[in-house]
Every structure is written in C-alpha cells, then in structure tokens.
Amino acid sequence: MAPLHSSLDVRVRDSVSKRIFHSVNPVGPWPGRGRCSSVLQNRRATLTASGFPQIRVLGYCCQLVGGVLVEQCPTRSEVGTRLLVVSTQLSHCRTILRLFDDLSMFVYTKQYGLGAQEEDAFVRLVSVLGNLADQLYYPCEHVAWAADARVLHVDSSRWWTLSTALWALSLLLGVARSLWMLLKLRQRLRSPTAPFTSPLPRGKRRAMEAQMQSEALSLLSNLADLANAVHWLPRGVLWAGRFPPWLVGLMGTISSILSMYQAARAGGQAEATTP
C-alpha cells in the first residue's frame, strides 16, 4: 500500500491480495486465515491485478539496498538514492494496479459470506472482520491516490491514514487467527490418545504438521508487514515514523519472500493432488 503524496517517499506498502497464499488447507486471504478452500484462495490471488509478487519483492529489495547505501556508504549514496526512487515508482505502480482489485475482493468476500463453513467461532469472527477491513481498505486507498493525483480535492493524508489503519487491523486479525490455529493444532497433535481410539493416521498428522508450518510462516509474514504498517501511521503511535528506509525494506522483503514461498508450495501441492 503506497501513498503518492511524496515522490521520494519510499512507503512501499503491502497488497492485501498477497496475504492469501498458504499451503495446506489455508483459510483466507493471508497466511492461513481459516477461511475457504485453497482453490478459492488461489482464484482470488489470480483475479487481483496487484497480485504480482515480483513487483513487491523488487520494490522492497531496492528500498533495502538503497537505504543501506545511503546510510552506510556515503560514496555510493547517489546509487542508493536512485534505488530508493525506483522503489517509490514500483510502489506507485502497485497502488495503481490495486485500482482494479475491488471487484475480485468483493467476489471473494461474497463467496465466504459469514463463514458458515467454519467450525470454529473465533476463526469465523476474525475472518469476517478481516474481509470487511480488506474490502474497506481499497476505496480508502483509491481516494487517497486520487487526491494526490489532484483528481479529487480532498486531504489525502487522512485517507492514507485510514487505509493504513485498516491494513494494520487486517494484519492484527491475521496474527490472531494464526496464533489461534497454531495453538489448536498443537493441542491436537500433542493430546494423549483416548482409550479405545486409534492414533491419528500418518497422512493426517503430516497434513497437520504442514499446516502448522504454513501458519507459522503466515504469522511471521503478517508480523513483518504489521511492523511497517505501524511505522506508516501518524507519529506518536508506537514506533510510527521511526524506521529507516533499509529497515522498512528488510521487513517488506522478508514478508514478500515468505509469501512467494507459500504461494509456490501451495501451487506445487495443488498440482500434486490434481487427478
């Protein structure tokens, strides 16, 4: 999510769509948010125009390297500055691509509904609230972009703040969901076998362990993005405005690589299970 109100501002923000990649029985637009099937999640990833992970990774890597060169290597500060400019432009590119994501997000939200297919009430609650935050995020960012582009005569900073707050809320819900799922899965794996009952089949145990790994990766990805989201909130909120560019790039790079890994693994598993 990237504002346009400063041409040299390297706020390369996350695309909500990237959060839908998980592997085993993922559930929602983000690291295992206990929602619908992996088929629906992959469909949402495909439909969203901003779902180009290469742009995100490249943008954050440019910000990471550029920030390090500017701060640590004065002799190469010019190269670092140019990399930061490239990062900013890639961020703007992703912001414009997200202008076309509203419909696919709406289709996903409508298909999930109130999460009647979820057995866990907490997972259903955080999933519905997360979908709502995601859905509201897009129009807020669009208004902010239009204000920066002087298409609308409104204060863009308020809309950027609102969109960032919605993103942070969505990430918090994703973190809560992943922690809850990790706890439940761990309890199921470690609970003693009841009398006269057979232990978990090996295949099911492996699937649960794989889902735990996916949830852990999702948790790390969401935490990295959440660190940046708080940084982009107005000063005075926790560590808002205190991250140097290289640290923002590092957090974003970690999140992007984890998401790409989960997407690749999910794609491989989908091909393996296709008859």
Structure tokens at 163: 């969109």
pLDDT of residue 95: 93
SS3 assignment, position 88: helix
Please report the pLDDT score of residue 271 as a whole number: 61
CA gap 238, 175 in Å, rounded? 18
Residue 178 identity: S
Residue extents of the structural domains in the chain:
42-52+103-189+205-266
**Tokens at 16, concatenated:** 């909500």
The per-residue pLDDT for 3 is 44
Q: Give the per-residue pLDDT at 202.
A: 77
The pLDDT value given to residue 203: 77
pLDDT at 8: 36
Question: Taking Cα atoms as reference points, which of 270, 264, 269 lies closest to residue 21?
Answer: 264
Q: What is the pLDDT of residue 116?
A: 83
d(CA 205, CA 218): 20
Q: Chunked in runs of 10, what are the mean pLDDT values of the chain (275 residues)?
A: 40 36 29 32 44 87 95 86 95 92 90 85 93 95 95 95 96 96 88 58 82 93 96 94 96 94 77 58
DSSP letters for 32-44: T-S-S-HHHHHHH
What confidence score (pLDDT) does residue 28 get?
30
pTM reported for the whole predicted model:
0.79
For position 269, what pLDDT does the model report? 67
**What are the residues whose beta carbons fall under 8 Å from the beta carbon of 253, sequence distance 6 or more?**
57, 60, 61, 64
